[in-house]
Amino acid sequence: MSYYDQVKEAADAIRARVSDVPRIAIVLGSGLGDFAGSLADRVSMPYGELPYWPASRVIGHDGRLVVGGVRGRTIAALAGRSHAYEGHDLRTVTFAVRVLGLLGVKTLILTNAAGGVNTAFAAGALMVIDDHINLMGGNPLVGANDDRFGPRFPDLTDLYSPRLRRIADEAGGEHGMTLPHGVYAAVLGPSYETPAEIRYLRTIGADAVGMSTVPEAIVARHMGMDVLGISCITNTAAGVLPHAVDHGEVLETARRVRGEFLALLEGIIGRL
């Protein structure tokens, strides 16, 4: 069976279990999966029940697709994602986004937990992604192009939709939040970066660093989706403060900003 047919089978399986097909989807980063549980009239599908769907095995990623309502709109929320550092190739990492595209999703909101490279960002800040730097050593579009997904050479000039970024600012302002904007650098992981690597990232213009999001954003744009990216700055990157970086700190910060994060997402969806 071809990759396209596998993606289509998974999309058809989701379509058969929901009464209203979503046009908006959100991928929830480490520790941010609580949003999925807030959806009204939700239908929850563990990844293991969906054909060919890769498992998510990272702490802080629940591993389920939830379809439900927010402010009168039906959305799909992915509580957990696959990462290249788990040993997956990028085609597997982006399988979920391909499925969302064939399902009919037109707007994709990508969230992540990220380290703060910009020293002006405090832990707990919610950063709107204006652009990215791909340092993962690969691109999910490498290989034969299937024109049913999208063009061979997609333009990424406005990968992160200017319209959606403005909507995020408006939604933040409604709740008294001034959202910083910045550039997200994606690295392979799973080790955290060295202080020298953080100095390098700062030099080349990165404001935050993480181990996800960029392959998904590329594939979403390849399929014609509008993309919004939001990083929760869960920790200060290596070498900025005199203590080690720890995944527990990442999850704790994500829990601490849960209320602000949920309010922001609901405000954004309400404006779409």
Grade residue 35 by pLDDT with cuts at 50, 70 and 90: confident
Structure tokens at 71: 């402010």
Residue-wise pLDDT tens digits, 127-169:
999 999 999 999 999 999 999 999 999 999 999 999 999 999 9
Residues 170, 167: Cα–Cα separation, whole Å: 5
Task: Give 3-state DSSP helix, strand, coil % of the chain, rounded to 5.
Answer: 35, 25, 40
Q: Which of 15-29, 187-201, 240-254 is predicted with the least confidence, judged by mean pLDDT? A: 240-254
For residue 99 the two structure tokens come to 């499925």
- For residue range 92-124, what is the model confidence (pLDDT) as tens digits? 999 999 999 999 999 999 999 899 999 999 888
pLDDT at 246: 63
DSSP assignment of 137-194 equals S--TT-S---TTT--SS---TTSB-HHHHHHHHHHHHHTT----EEEEEEE--SSPPP
Residue with tokens 């999910």: 140
* Contact call for residues 270 and 171 (beta carbons, < 8 A): yes
Does residue 243 carry a pLDDT above 60? no
Measured in residues, the chain has a length of 272
- pLDDT score recorded for residue 250: 67
Task: List the domains of the chain with CATH numbers.
Answer: 3-271 (3.40.50.1580)
Q: 131 is written with which tokens?
A: 């652009």
* C-alpha to C-alpha distance for 51 and 118, rounded to whole angstroms: 41
Give residue 106's pLDDT.
Answer: 98
Contact criterion met (CB below 8 Å) for 113 and 33: no
Q: What's residue 59's pLDDT? A: 54
pLDDT for position 31? 66
In single-letter form, the type of residue at position 103 comes to L
- Quote the pLDDT of residue 259: 85
Task: State residue 65 phi and psi, 5-degree precision.
Answer: -105, 130
Burial class (CB in 10 A: 0-12, 13-18, 19+), 203: exposed
**Looking at per-residue confidence, does 233 or 237 come out higher?**
233
Higher-confidence residue of 136 and 256: namely 136
What letter would DSSP give residue 54?
P
Residue pair 126/260 in contact by the 8 Å Cβ criterion: yes
Query: What would the pLDDT profile of 58-102 be if each residue is shown by its tens digit?
Result: 555 578 999 999 988 999 999 989 999 999 999 999 999 999 999
Least confident range of 67-71, 169-173, 187-191, 249-253: 249-253
* pLDDT recorded at residue 258: 82
**What's the pLDDT score for residue 33?**
67
Query: Residue 16 burial (CB < 10 Å; 0-12/13-18/19+)?
Result: exposed
